[in-house]
Amino acid sequence: MTMRHTMTTAPRTRDLKAALRELDAAHAEVSSLGDGVAPSRLERALARLDAARDALSLAA
């Protein structure tokens, strides 16, 4: 009988990778905002960045 092993990514690793992707996306969003951005848009982008940082600290 042959045993077949499937390589899977551990849940913690997946969570960490997802958190890093979200942090990168949030950084890119904030960086892409121009000088004339609406204050509410900037506030949403910064809130996303804060949430991504929180998610990363939980996943690490």
Note the pLDDT of residue 7: 58
Domain definitions of the chain by residue range: 11-59
Structure tokens at 37: 């951005």
Note the pLDDT of residue 6: 60
pLDDT of 1-50, one tens digit each?
Answer: 566 656 566 778 899 999 999 999 999 999 999 999 999 999 999 999 99
Note the pLDDT of residue 11: 77
Instruction: Please name the amino acid found at residue 54.
Output: D
> pTM for the complete prediction?
0.78
Going by C-alpha positions, the residue among 34, 10, 25, 33 that lies closest to residue 56 is 25
Q: Using an 8 Å Cβ cutoff, are 26 and 45 in contact?
A: yes
